[in-house]
Amino acid sequence: MTTQQFTTLCGRTLRNTDSQYFPSAQYHGRVIYLCTEACLGAFLADPKKFHKAHRKSKEKPPKPAAQK
Mean pLDDT, consecutive 10-residue segments, the chain of 68 residues?
78 86 91 91 92 68 53
Q: Which domain holds residue 38?
A: 4-57
pLDDT of residue 58: 53
pTM: 0.67
pLDDT of residue 13: 87
Residue 39 backbone phi and psi in degrees, to 5: -65, -40
pLDDT of residue 25: 93
Q: Is residue 47 in some structural domain? A: yes
Q: Is residue 62 in some structural domain? A: no
Q: What is the dihedral of CA 44, 54, 13, 16, to 10 degrees?
A: 0
- In sequence order, the 6+-apart residues with CB closer than 8 A to the CB of 9 are 32, 33, 34, 39, 43, 50, 51, 54, 55, 58
The number of folded domains in the chain is: 1
